[in-house]
Amino acid sequence: MRYLSRRLLHTVLLLAATTFVTFLFTTLAPGNYFDEMRLNPQISPETLNALKAHYDFDKPVVVRYGAWLKSLLRGEMGYSFAYNSPVGPLLAVRASNTLLLTVTATLLAWMIALPLGVWSAEYAGRWLDRAVTGFSAILLVIPDIALALGLLMLGVHSRWLPAGGMSSIGAESLPVVERLWDFARHMFLPAAILVLTAQPILVRHIRAAVAESLSEGFIRAAEAHGIPRHRLLWRYALPASANPLISLFGFSIGALLSGSLLVEVITSWPGLGPFLLEAILARDLYVVIGGVLLATLFLIAGNFVADAALYWADPRIRKD
């Protein structure tokens, strides 16, 4: 358990460092929310000074960071200047939407990439391998934002899919089945963008890991004993490739999470992406810090799940 304990300790230290650095940089950046308010002639300097005192902007950075940590322990995560309410409840719904999109895209991406990578390794040099490799190369050279905009334009012009949001107007009054179908139609476009952008890296790494396992001596010995090729591939070669693929799984979560923030902005998915962009433009300090904290937490949680799976799959790590 020392392996997981060290990982958990690293997680806590990384979160603490991330929050402090984010707080420091956003504080030292030129301008703030109240500088924008100063441009409004209807707001007096006395009102601005009172607001700064209310939000502790007249105190040193270290004192404000300590106050923010206390509010974090209460689940508030500071107060939003624009909404005049705790940040935690504002981020909770949007974070759940981002998490739903990221988890769905991760599962779909692996469900597609895993068989493609395994079959590409099995039929190395044949037409299936060349087709998969060529398709991955095409996706790799297309910029992610160009792919997202292209799929968005296709959905808008074809009218097959909604162009934004999570549900249609009046979807609350629909039956459960129709409501789920409406939700699936809205999720299809952002999820498809994330799945397609993740395919080249996943397929290539899976193919390389399985191909390396197929060249091992124990695989050739098992094949000489007459074990069927299908069973040899999925029962022996794929488990032998587990370690690099589990590490790749943790990496893919982080990549899809960071990509989902941009995709959410492009497709108007009501997650952390549009909310963070709005907060950055409005210089809503504590919303930005809270959003960065949640994004980092999701990334670390994905890597921690991968570390736990690696600990379970590899007995050499359990002996460490």
d(C-alpha 164, C-alpha 301), whole Å: 28
What is the structure's pLDDT at 315? 65
State the pTM of this model.
Answer: 0.81
Reduced to 3 states, what is the DSSP secondary structure of residue 79?
Answer: strand
Reduced to 3 states, what is the DSSP secondary structure of residue 159?
Answer: coil
Reduced to 3 states, what is the DSSP secondary structure of residue 142?
Answer: coil
Provide the 10 A C-beta neighbour count for residue 254: 18
What is the structure's pLDDT at 108? 92
What is the structure's pLDDT at 4? 65
202 near 248, Cβ under 8 Å? Answer: yes
DSSP one-letter string for 18-68:
HHHHHHHHHHHSS--HHHHHHT-TTS-HHHHHHHHHHTTTTS-HHHHHHHH
218 backbone φψ class: left, alpha, beta (φ>0; ψ -120 to 50)? alpha
- In the 8-state DSSP scheme, what is residue 171? G
Helical ranges in 123-175 per DSSP H: 127-141, 144-158
Reduced to 3 states, what is the DSSP secondary structure of residue 82?
Answer: coil
What b/e string do you get for 6-23 counting C-beta neighbours within 10 Å, with b at 16 or more?
A: ebeeebeeeeeebbbebb
d(C-alpha 154, C-alpha 132), whole Å: 24
Mean pLDDT split into 10-residue runs, the chain, 320 residues = 71 80 76 69 75 74 82 83 84 88 90 88 81 85 82 78 74 77 85 89 86 75 73 75 79 80 86 87 84 82 76 64
List the domains of the chain with CATH numbers.
104-274 (1.10.3720.10)
Q: Phi and psi for 77 in degrees, rounded to 5?
A: 60, 35
Residue with tokens 């909604």: 162
What is the structure's pLDDT at 38? 72
